Amino acid sequence: MTGRNFLVTAEAGIHRIVQEEMKQQQFAGASIRILHKGVPIFCGNYGYADREAGSVVRDDTIFRLYSLSKPIAAAAAYIQIERGLLDLEDPVARYLPAFAKMQVYTVKGLVPAKRPILVRELLSMTSGLVYPDPDPAGEYMREVFTRAGIRSQNGNSMTTAEVIDAMAEKPLAFQPGEQWRYGTGTDVMGRIIEVTAGMRLGEFYRNEIFEPLGMKDTGFYVPKEKTDRLAQLYSVEENEDHSQRLVIERERTLGLTDCLSPPAYESAGAGLLSTIRDYAKFAVMLSGNKERKGTEILGRKTLELMLRPQLTKEQEKTIYFEHLKGYSYGNFMRFYKEANEAASSGSPGEFGWDGWTGPYMAVNREEDFVLLFMTQRCGYCNPAFIRKLRNIAYALL
């Protein structure tokens, strides 16, 4: 089969699986981009960015990234590591004194942490810091975000420093380094970046990542002149016949705002917005081809340090996300490890992450390959769809 025939087959396959998801009311629209050697080999936009307004998805549609913000936080941390301003083995309390005396939740009550949280444990999600999950440790953390939401509604929003200090008051779910659990470590890292840089996180991102890479539509809010490009945020409701329908989501989680003005709390873990065109520039930078000029914000050896899994075998056993079967984890990203378990095309060392509203990234440095998917629906996670998309994308290589 010729290269052209492969592309035609891929286009048809991607169109089919996306249309199936939209027919099932999984999302209103999506954008997909596949790059090889830094060059787009497939770009596809489908459906609506805002169904009610009649606006369709385009290359410049702005999406809320939620947790796809995390790889950018990892890059920022490694910029500071590269400059000697941050060390992986340092206690977090060296930069944020509020974390000096942490407590740990146990069924018998709170006990002192046996040792400090280390910077590398934030990056590997093994710190014990959690999200507001439905368990005792998560309920403690929920108090922070509830407080942030109330203050935001009252016009007295908590700053990033205030939110992170409040997190330090809450107990860890386990002793530092004991296991893996997805949590607020990225937000704590964002505050460390602010402290080591002497500026707000958004300013650091703009100076050190977005402007050097030409990411003109990425940030913690959408300026007024760009609001017509912001995708609508949807959630799913069930009809009486148990079918699903998409409805506009008015609520905001994790202390985030409506994204239409500069937030007091800049969430490194979930607060960024971007376009697929912008995020492709960041992903291409991570692919690290030394022959491409103008994409370097990190040194070659720094990327080699950053782009590898961090978990021990014992920590890997505690990974509980279904979509991480066959993967390890490190530096706020998944790492492809075992093909049979992952059940999709790939190769060891491929990395990436995704977000609560559906955006997804996979980068394979060995193949110089990037896959990006953007949509905007709360809680969207369909591992079968992602596996199909990955298999089609890799067939183009």
User: How far is residue 156's CA from residue 159's CA, in Å, rounded to a whole number?
Assistant: 9
Kindly state the helix (H) or strand (E) to which residue 391 belongs, with its residue range.
helix 383-394
Q: Please state the CATH superfamily assignment of the domain spanning residues 3-69+203-394 in this structure.
A: DD-peptidase/beta-lactamase superfamily (3.40.710.10)
For the chain, domain boundaries: 3-69+203-394, 76-199
DSSP letter, residue 208: I
Q: For the packed helices 70-82 and 276-287, what is the interaxial angle rounded to 10 degrees? A: 40
* Closest to 253 (Cα-Cα) out of 360, 125, 379, 137: 379
- CATH node for 76-199: 3.40.710.10
Task: Say yes or no: do domains 3-69+203-394 and 76-199 share a fold.
Answer: yes
Structure pTM?
0.96
d(CA 397, CA 386): 18
Give the pLDDT of residue 1: 42
Contact 371, 114 (CB under 8 A): no
CB of 119 within 8 A of CB of 88?
A: yes
pLDDT of residue 2: 47
Per-residue pLDDT of the chain in tens (397 residues, 90 and over written 9): 445 677 788 899 999 999 999 999 999 999 999 999 999 999 999 999 999 999 999 999 999 999 999 999 999 999 999 999 999 999 999 999 999 999 999 999 999 999 999 999 999 999 999 999 999 999 999 999 999 999 988 999 999 999 999 999 999 999 999 999 999 999 999 999 999 999 999 999 999 999 999 999 999 999 999 999 999 999 999 888 888 899 999 887 787 888 999 999 999 999 999 999 999 999 999 998 666 665 689 999 999 999 999 999 999 999 999 999 999 999 999 999 999 999 999 999 999 999 999 999 999 999 999 999 999 999 999 999 999 999 999 999 9
Tell me what pLDDT residue 3 has: 57
Beta bridge partner(s), residue 370: 35, 363
What pairs with residue 361 in β-bridges?
353, 372
pLDDT of residue 92: 98
Q: In the 8-state DSSP scheme, what is residue 30?
A: E
